[in-house]
Amino acid sequence: MNLDSPQRIHIAPQGYEEQRIYKPAIENRADKVVLLVTEGDEQSNKCQKNVEEELRDASIEVEKKNCDIFDQDESIQTISELIYSYSDDDVKVNISTGSKITAISGMLACMLTGATPYYVKAEDYGDEPVSKGVEDVISLPAYPIDPPQKSFVKVLSFLKEREDSDEKVKISDLNNFVQEEELDPVEGIERKDDRNIYDIVNRDIIDPLVEKEYIRKQPYAGSKYLTLTPKGKRTLDFSRHLID
């Protein structure tokens, strides 16, 4: 294979499924399958071992990534990070295995990144594994949604770091951070023009983040402080790979 050609990468959460993971990968000539695995689940680990054997017998490389498949934020973040790490390849996400949470997370990650989700229809359903056979593999449309701007993610990360250190963030603190990082809205603007920067930061960063309900302004002791909302924390969780 030409080393410069895109690889066919399949991402599949490993729950209690076997054939719905390895059959579409083999039939679609995947070069690698990335399994999202949960440690300490005996039944899932047994299925995983069988999946790995089938894939390796078909000369398909297997990569394992630890992920709590019942945690939506972790699932979205993990799947999105994997898709971006293979951005030069043809990435497909199997949303029929794992949990309902990984099905939702996988679809959202595909909408954010442009990867292709697919669903594997089982021939029958049993107990161990929970399904048997593969009747059909259905490609699904992932209607695109725009990920947050990198400058927004950097600001959310800054606020989270300060929050973790029990430090309050004034608007002036954010102004300084934006200037030091030379984020897009103020790139190339002289630091001496502080008033202009203050207006730009408010208009292009703070106001949009408040409108999206990622942050809130809180008056305290005559000053205004900025804090993350739960929605802002979740957005940071699945968008952090954009700045790492």
pTM for the full predicted model: 0.69
Instruction: Work out the mean pLDDT of the chain and round it to a whole number.
Output: 86
Question: Domain 150-242 adopts which CATH fold?
Answer: Arc Repressor Mutant, subunit A (1.10.10)
Lowest model confidence (mean pLDDT) among 57-61, 152-156, 219-223:
219-223
Residue 136, pLDDT score: 53
Residue position matching structure tokens 């309900």: 213
Q: Where are the domains of the chain?
A: 8-139, 150-242
Looking at the chain, the whole-number percentage of residues with pLDDT higher than 90 is 56
Residue 46, pLDDT score: 93
140, pLDDT greater than 70: no
The better pLDDT of the pair 37, 236 is held by 37
pLDDT tier at 2, thresholds 50, 70, 90:
very low
The better pLDDT of the pair 8, 122 is held by 8
pLDDT tier at 161, thresholds 50, 70, 90:
very high
Per-residue pLDDT of 33-86, as tens digits, reads 999 998 888 899 999 999 999 999 999 999 999 999 998 888 988 999 999 999
User: What is the architecture, at CATH level 2, of domain 8-139?
Assistant: 3-Layer(aba) Sandwich (3.40)
Lowest model confidence (mean pLDDT) among 74-83, 178-187, 221-230:
178-187
Looking at the chain, the whole-number percentage of residues with pLDDT higher than 70 is 86
Per-residue pLDDT of 81-109, as tens digits, reads 999 999 899 999 999 998 899 999 999 88
Residue 10, pLDDT score: 98
